[in-house]
Amino acid sequence: MKKHREIKLQSRRNFLVKLALLSASALAPPVFTGCKKNEIAGLNGKPPFNVWQDMINTLSTSPDNFPARRKSLINKKDIQSMHSFVQKDIALLPSDYRYFRYPARNTRYGEKAAIRCGMATPREKAEILNNMLKESGFESKVVYERVKLSEEEVLNILFRNHQPKFAPEITDDQIENWLEILGADKENGQWDNLASVLEQNEDFTEKILALLDEEEKNNGQELRYTFNNNIPAVVVGVEGKELFLHIFDPSVKYGEYHPTNTDKYYSEAGELFSSDENISIRLTYTNSIDGSKEYDLLNGEWKSSELVGNQVNLMFLKNMGFEKMATSSVNQISSFTPSLTLQDLYEDKKFMEKRSFIGDPITLEGEKLIEENNKKLEISENKKSNESLINKVSSLEVKAIPGTYPKVQLQVFPKDSNGNVIEGLQPGDFNISDNKKEMMAFMKQNKVAPKILVIYDTSLSMPKKYRDEGIKTFVEDTQQAIKDVYPLAKVTLQKTGSTIYTSHYKAALSENDLIIYATDGHNNDKFDPSLQPVYKSGPPTIYLNVYESSNDHFEELATRTHASVIPANDQQETIKKIKEELKNIKVPPYLFTYHSTDPDKEHVAEVSIRKDLKAQDKFKFLPIANELPGKRMVGLYMYLSIGNQKPVRRVLAGWDTEVEFGEIPVKKYANKVHEMLMGNLTLAFEREAPPLSVRLTDYLKALMSNKNWYEKYQDNELETAIEELEKGTFSYPSALLTMMQPLKDSINAESITWPLGFRIGCFKVKPAIYNVKSLITFDYLPTSDYRTLTKSRKNSFTTNLKKTSQLALLENHMFETSTFSLLENKNLEINNKIESKEKFSGENLGNDYYYWKEYVLRGGPSFKVYAADTSSKAYWEIDKRYGGMYGILPDQTGGGGTGPLLQLKELQNLVDEYSKLAGVMNIGMAVAGVGSVPVGIVASYSLTLMKLYAIATEAVILMDSSNLNDQVKKAMAELACNIYKEIHYGSLGHVGAGMSGIENLIAAMGGNYSFTKC
């Protein structure tokens, strides 16, 4: 991801150039060139999947693979080995921040998460052993044993060196065999030992600590020690006798009580205190019309036990099946369906479906495509055409209205021989093209249902009858009067300030049929003559002169904006005039929207119902509309909540409403949101992260999810391959292998450092459309709440800071941009010891003033360390009480980012463009957002597509059959090529004894090569 990989990226680019020049012969089923043998004894399947399965089996033999060892021991039914595994190999965690105040009942991670990371509280250890015994068929229970231990004895038990070894039972011959079967190269992939970087960590942390005084570092504070001597243990029945299993003290032998329990007495265990919290994710957006008001897109909620060790994929599905993607261009994506999908590599599809969430399909404006109880759109139950109704159509008119590029609205008027409008035609009855290219168009209405927007100035200078309850009454009376003529008419209300030209401009780009603007004429903005084409092409507008003041002023407003004026002192008379004006407006019975291309060219929109009945209209996108979008989503936000804690907020794209005020660059932010909708995000949840063998197993399990469709593709069974592909796959960004690893030396003879909360990593892919550089970023959410206890009961703050700073080194190693890189050569300052406040004035900071005020200078539970000259907005955030440290980038994410100079080209094939992105950025197609749907969302997404197809023109459903087969073959070949990723793994220290072959292992998993003939 960093620049030292540039040579490998270049070779990948060369490979993609060849891919783009595929000939028909290259679309044949993939072969494994250079392979002398393809089989592995005892395993079914073809390469690479048989090799990957063999790797999974081999990784299960590694000492640090605690879940695999648990399963193996249960199968062996060996009680003594199970006891030894839990007592000696699972690291002991404190039950709380007072060491062992509640050892009998406190749990920290839950059994699944504790086994995954190999760390557990005393009660969790007992529960792990108890459940292992029960699964082996024994009768067992958790009990309490009362012991007598001094503080020194307890601390000696707790503080022990614990570094699980990565040492799978693997030979060089086995790795050579894998490489040979795959035709792979030993140079593929990369493993970096970061031990040398860790040594440099001392200088880095000392520089930070030098900014704090002794009192702030709490170095003189002694941690409180408590030991409740009621310790969990397990009793198991063996051949009619009870066998006692002590767990707390590893010196106690199998089957014996603790020596201080001379009475050999135990008591029944009480109910454990569960730490299974609710975790929720909320996705919202702002638009360019309604200020900072946020609208909900999607909400999801889980139990923490359902998320730990798993991932949640936030995807904006493109509302196309794979075949449609294979035959569509980037610009044809006009709608998105947000989804939050749980990915659990070890559970079944039903489990994930119950815990996955899908939102409503939306447009770039944030508007829902499928409206519940939509009275202006009537879809037949069988979604079939009414031939008799179609045959009544004798004439067809169409009016094309270009909106904010790339959006186009089509008003369609089918009439019978008497000139009467025919309502009730179905979406599939129409075919729509733009410059002879079939468009994906969605029907918004198929009945005459005018939409009226009432804008009103909220200034106190407005009369009461047009403010507060007065304006609401006016709208209700207006709607009732209009419904006498148009029963399906809808009137909506919108607030505005004294900015007449700007407010009118935004409304002119809306889908309304009539705009009513109530104003006293007071205006604070200036007229821009270049906007006149927008006013002219927009809906008819009526200014309500609420005081019936100077007509000259209102006439000037009306002339400039192509509007009309109605004296509006008498509201009932005003409503009558509005009703009369509406009768003169040509209200369309049908409204379609689609996305077009080429903003500078003239377009011909064509609508046809039958082969012999077509209508056309020419249009050009307004140049100004390409600069200042009307209604568009301009901010996309994620809120993650854990229990009753304050939600963690992330600006996924666009406008940060907390620090950016006044006029915002609407086009810039609308484009950023659009790019984010083309990408996706993976949230990885852990307590403490698992050891290497577990992470590698997860990665391989995700790759194995491609087996069914890929092997059918190898056999040239294209249709079956697509069917299998659309059943869903997993995706696991290889960056998680490095970024979600446990802290080095977290448990040793002097200290224990563990996350009280959740380690949550956020991997985001944002393709470039308007920018020149696509981005991948990684963000550590501030939810881990690392704590450190020391044997000396002192220096916990500094120890915690030093250990958690390892995450900063990971960020800097993996990404070109990180907090470490931005602040590495800067003089640093801390926010509670500001030398000169003058540099933080609005005059000096300009637009960044509120950023520094809200995010850096404001007090709170954290110290902020930043560049003293304010040349960078990155900073270090340090917990004042416990010393945990995060690096915060200027966009408020805690991680790093990088990306190639690569754009998605709007006119090019969708899969082609994502293939280039996936290849150069070393991410799989599923991670990039194209190729396959996550397993947990397949069923509900299929229902969403069915609803969308019901309101879509034929072009959404039908494809060009003349070249479909070749296009789909080519798309599948590209998808196959990008299953494999170049893995770059950085380890915080030595990974294990005898593993010089780890580079070869990573090489065989995936790298800068392809198994397909492409």
Q: What is the CATH number of the domain that holds 567?
A: 3.40.50.9100
pLDDT (mean) for 549-561? 84
Tokens of 407: 């959006």
Domain identity same for 235 and 303: no
Helices (H) and strands (E) in the chain, counts: 34, 41
34-43, 429-438, 934-943: which has the highest mean pLDDT? 429-438
Report the b/e string of 294-323 with b at 16+ CB within 10 A: beebbebebebbbbbbbbbbbbbbbbbbbb
pLDDT in tens, 960-973: 434 446 767 777 77
pLDDT of amino acid 916? 66
In a domain, 892, yes or no: yes
**624 pLDDT tier (thresholds 50, 70, 90):** low
User: Which residue did the predictor score with more confidence, 653 or 291?
Assistant: 653
Whether 685 has a pLDDT exceeding 80, the answer reads yes
pLDDT (mean) for 262-270? 95
User: Which residue did the predictor score with more confidence, 196 or 115?
Assistant: 115
In a domain, 465, yes or no: yes
Give the pairing of strands 230-238 and 648-654: unpaired
Using alpha carbons only, give the angle 201, 206, 209 rounded to the nearest 5 degrees. Answer: 125
Question: Residue 424: which CATH number?
Answer: 2.60.40
> Is it true that the peptide bond before 934 is cis, omega within 30 degrees of 0?
no
Domain identity same for 238 and 120: yes
Domain identity same for 120 and 152: yes
pLDDT of amino acid 980? 59
pLDDT of amino acid 534? 85
pLDDT of amino acid 814? 84
In angstroms, rounded to a whole number, what is the distance separating the alpha carbons of residues 254 and 183? Answer: 49
- Kindly give, in sequence order, each residue whose CB lies less than 8 Å from that of residue 825, ignoring residues fewer than 6 positions away: none
In angstroms, rounded to a whole number, what is the distance separating the alpha carbons of residues 83 and 73? Answer: 10
For residue 435, give its domain range.
Answer: 378-446+591-626
User: Which of 323-337, 456-470, 681-695, 740-754 comes out lowest in average pLDDT?
Assistant: 323-337
- Closest Cα partner for 449 from 632, 572, 594, 582? 582
pLDDT of amino acid 32? 37
Question: Residue 249: which CATH number?
Answer: 3.10.620
User: Which of 165-169, 636-640, 1007-1011 comes out lowest in average pLDDT?
Assistant: 1007-1011
Domain identity same for 463 and 479: yes
Alpha helices (H) along 86-168: 111-117, 122-135, 151-158
Domain identity same for 283 and 405: no
Domain identity same for 164 and 207: no
Q: How many domains does the chain have?
A: 5
Answer with the one of 654, 669, 686 that is the final residue of a domain. 686
In angstroms, rounded to a whole number, what is the distance separating the alpha carbons of residues 54 and 533? Answer: 66
In angstroms, rounded to a whole number, what is the distance separating the alpha carbons of residues 91 and 751? Answer: 13
Domain identity same for 521 and 654: no
In a domain, 917, yes or no: yes
In a domain, 948, yes or no: no
Domain identity same for 32 and 78: yes
Could you give the percent of the chain with pLDDT greater than 90? 50
pLDDT of amino acid 926? 60
User: Which of 11-20, 712-721, 855-864 comes out lowest in average pLDDT?
Assistant: 11-20
Whether 31 has a pLDDT exceeding 90, the answer reads no
In a domain, 154, yes or no: yes
Whether 37 has a pLDDT exceeding 70, the answer reads no
pLDDT in tens, 472-496: 999 999 989 988 888 888 898 988 8
In a domain, 679, yes or no: yes
Q: Torsions phi, psi of 539, nearest 5?
A: -60, 150
pLDDT of amino acid 354? 95
Whether 905 has a pLDDT exceeding 90, the answer reads no
Whether 505 has a pLDDT exceeding 50, the answer reads yes
In a domain, 420, yes or no: yes
- pTM for this one? 0.89
Whether 908 has a pLDDT exceeding 90, the answer reads no
Domain identity same for 106 and 209: no
Whether 23 has a pLDDT exceeding 80, the answer reads no
12-16, 38-42, 858-862: which has the highest mean pLDDT? 858-862
Answer with the one of 882, 908, 926 that is the final residue of a domain. 926
Whether 931 has a pLDDT exceeding 70, the answer reads no
User: For the chain, what is the mean pLDDT?
Assistant: 85
pLDDT of amino acid 170? 86
**1001 pLDDT tier (thresholds 50, 70, 90):** confident
Domain identity same for 674 and 528: no
401-410, 546-555, 649-658, 923-932: which has the highest mean pLDDT? 649-658
Domain identity same for 181 and 218: no
In a domain, 86, yes or no: yes
Answer with the one of 651, 671, 686 that is the final residue of a domain. 686
Domain identity same for 430 and 491: no
pLDDT of amino acid 723? 86
**Cβ count within 10 A of residue 454:** 24
Give the pairing of strands 514-519 and 451-457: parallel
User: Which of 419-423, 690-694, 989-993, 1006-1010 comes out lowest in average pLDDT?
Assistant: 1006-1010
